[in-house]
Amino acid sequence: MSQVLPRHVGIIMDGNGRWASARGLPRTEGHKRGAEVFELICDRAAELGIPCVTFYAFSTENWSRPQAEVSAIMDLLRRWLKRAQEREEENARKGIRLRFIGELEGLPQDIQGLALDAQEHTKGQSRTICNLAVNYGGRAEILRAAKQLAARCQAGELDAAALTEEELAAELYTPEYTDVDLLIRPSGEQRLSNFLLWQCAYAEFWYSDTLWPDFTAEEFDGALEEFAKRGRRFGGV
């Protein structure tokens, strides 16, 4: 594995439903398999020492899906969070810190509590931050940050005319590792889908036709190898 690794990887976990439909299975089975792959890639990132990986799990737009599917996804998240409690010692050994970004207050109360518990119990780990974006939207995140800055300006804490990009970035959900170096999207789609819009300003994009439930650690390594070959100029020469 190359020594040139990204500090922040964003991953859009896409293709769960299509994976299940292609096998004559309920779409929920694809989400179950996708959750297993999430754990696999999170563990691989920690093994390699990548400081931060943000996974897109459930967007603000996903509420428009059939109610049965949304309920099944919430049940799966609930079970996964309980499993995270069982994996507490394993996560500590691997140095994995779990964080949840998005409008958590829009989730069922018990899921909010489980998510906050997972964050609290892993906050001492520092090898790899695994962000799980749930009820998340990139535009909503930027609007939230702008409102928080506006309130601080109104309170006299900041000068609106002198605001900087760094001050706005500090109000986002990912202040520790704001900029995404590598954005991975499997499933054949080639769009951001309202994911980490600010953070992906200079991200390297890597696409794959593999549906997320079939995504492997080897394919993740391949994306990292491709990243290491790219020349990043950030608008320079």
Catalytic residues: 14, 62
76, burial (CB in 10 Å: exposed 0-12, middle 13-18, buried 19+) = middle
Helix, strand, or coil here: 216? coil
Q: Supply the DSSP string of 49-99, one letter for each residue.
A: T-SEEEEEEEEGGGGGS-HHHHHHHHHHHHHHHHHHHHTHHHHHHHTEEEE
What the block records as the tokens of 122 is 């892993």
CA distances (Å), origin 62, targets 18, 33, 36, 50, 58: 15, 18, 20, 29, 6
Largest pairwise CA distance in the chain: 59
